[in-house]
Structure formats: C-alpha cells, structure tokens
Amino acid sequence: MERQLTVRVPAMLADQLDRAARRLRRTRSGVVRLALEAFLDGRRPPDAARPVELVHDLLGSIDSGLPDLGQRHREYLLSRLRRGRQPAP
C-alpha cells in the first residue's frame, strides 16, 4: 500500500527537481522516489559521484620512478619549475 508524504523544499531545490523530472521524463514524485531509494540503499547517482571515485581505478597505477616522491613532492616540483624557467642551451 502506498503512503503519501509531503515535503517542503527551498525554491532552488524545487527548480532543480523540475529540471531533473523533465530531463528524465518522469514526474517529480518519481524522481524523488528514485533519489530516496538510492539514498536509503547507500547508492549514489553516477553524476553525483565524488571526484575520488571517478579516478579510483587509477590511484597507485602510475610509477614516477622516484621512491620518495610522496615525501619530497614540494622539492621535486620546485626543482622542475626552476628548470622550466631556464633558457634552453
């Protein structure tokens, strides 16, 4: 049995909901149900993924050849920048 729920939202959020409903070709209630189900299941919509989740498969996959890069990254960066400013021989 379905139950009705009334929710008050700020105008900006209501506008975003309207746009999402048009984009997805669903009713506002349908979009809210989808979002609520995803939230309660612990899922995130693909376009709301955290940036780290977008590159998770790349983390740790690049070898710089510098064993202490994590500890001396500032020194390496400054050295590289200084070399870049010197005129080529």
- The predicted model gives 10-28 an average pLDDT of 93
Tokens of 60: 């740790």
Does residue 89 surpass a pLDDT of 60? Answer: no
CB of 17 closer than 8 Å to CB of 28: yes
Domain membership flag for residue 60: no
**26 lies in some domain:** yes
17 with 27: CB under 8 angstroms?
A: no
Does 75 map to a domain?
Answer: no
- Long-range contacts, 7-12 (Cβ 8 Å, 24+): 7/32
- Local confidence band at 48 (pLDDT 50, 70, 90 cut-offs): low
27, 21 contact by CB (below 8 A): yes
Report the number of distinct structural domains present in the chain.
1
| CA–CA distance, 79 with 34 (Å, rounded to integer) | 51
What is the domain extent for residue 6? Answer: 1-48
In this structure, what CATH number is given to the domain that contains residue 25? 1.10.1220.10
64 found inside a domain? no
